[in-house]
Amino acid sequence: MTPIGIVGTGSYVPENVVSNEEVAARAGVTAAWIEERTGIGRRHRAADHEATSDLAAEAARRALQQAGVSADRLGFVLVATSTPDHPQPATASIVQDLIGARRAAAFDVNAVCSGFVYGLAVGTHMLRGATDPAAPYGLVVGADVYSRILDPADRRTAVLFGDGAGAVVLGPVPAGLGMVETALLGRGDQHRLIGVAAGGSRRPASARTVAEGGHWFRMDGRAVRGFVHEALPGAVAALLDRAGVPAKEVRHFVPHQANGVMLNQVWPELGLPEAAMHLTVDRHANTGAASVAITLDTVHRRGGLERGDLVLLAGFGGGMNIGAALVRWALDQPVGRYGEPVFGAEDEAADRPASRGLLSGAALR
């Protein structure tokens, strides 16, 4: 089979930057409290006119531009999100229309914060079995607008999330490069740890569900932390074992940007002695299904990935789900940036290299 890999990356975060001070005031905590417990210094929030599909489409355009692939050569558009524009149609259908991918199938994946990695696994298998030579590429987008489902008074969730989108174009790559292995794990017995209780078929939207706060996102943070510490190291080890790759050969680890403090605590348990862990949580917070893709694009566009490097991606979140993917990087370092700043002028001026096991910059000082 033709090797399939990542041939382009892109990301987009809204212009509106929300400080810890602003979030803290409504959640009944201090800015220092947020930074100390999460490593988050700021986050981006969608404008009133922006929905998940708008963020996703912009990230998709940037990934296609980098790949040098036109939208009409896409065989599918897959959007991983747990904050769709509306229950139906799929947000991917709207993105397909916005970017002009007339040939593409379009569908959503909801594995909450692990959705992007789940999408990579699905998309890779689809392309390996593709038969249309005119559409040899696929688009996988992770996008979420969590600001629309957060209770601003709930300090367990309101301080953690930002809005954003990240995308990759999948396609044929030279032999020896591309997707090495993927692993998906579900623990449905723990599905109550994270969720939005109302708005579906079990508790349809009503005046009562709104009054009860049933449409807010809720999370048992302590239990989620325990799940990650328990399940993530084993999932990483199992993936590497299946791939037949020694842990010391992994050069980069790009995790879901759930909580910077938690990631630094679990990092030593993963046993990746030669890898750099890349974090953007200090500037973008937890962007749900977008976080792995945004971080991957950030590292790539800063020239942090060399062709042939082994990159380990890991997502974890509601369901409970874990997704991991091992990729042998197929792209050369980018020659330039977008015509406009990737994340806005303030972020460009503050560019810092990601550090192994530490948040970039001063987020934990």
Three-state secondary-structure class, residue 12: strand
Q: Residues of 76-111 as b/e, b for ≥16 C-beta within 10 angstroms?
A: bbbbbbbbbbeeeebbbbbbbebbebeebbbbbbbb
Going from the C-alpha of 258 to that of each of 23, 119, 138, 240, the distances in angstroms are: 17, 18, 27, 23
Number of H helices, E strands in the chain: 11, 14
Concerning whether 113 is annotated as a catalytic residue, the answer is yes
Q: Are 60 and 10 in contact (CB under 8 A)?
A: yes
The CA distance from 316 to 318, in Å, is: 7
The active-site residue, picked from 113, 259, 284, 321, is 113
CA distances from 297 to 116, 187, 218, 278, 289 (A): 13, 29, 29, 11, 14
Considering the candidates 44, 252, 256, 300, report the single residue annotated as catalytic.
256
Catalytic residue from among 20, 259, 286, 321: 286
Nearest CA among 47, 192, 179 for reference residue 122: 179
**Could you tell me if 312 and 120 are in contact, meaning their C-beta atoms sit under 8 angstroms apart?**
no
Instruction: Please state, in angstroms and rounded to a whole number, the distance separating the CA atoms of residues 278 and 255.
Output: 7
Give catalytic residues, as residue numbers.
113, 256, 286
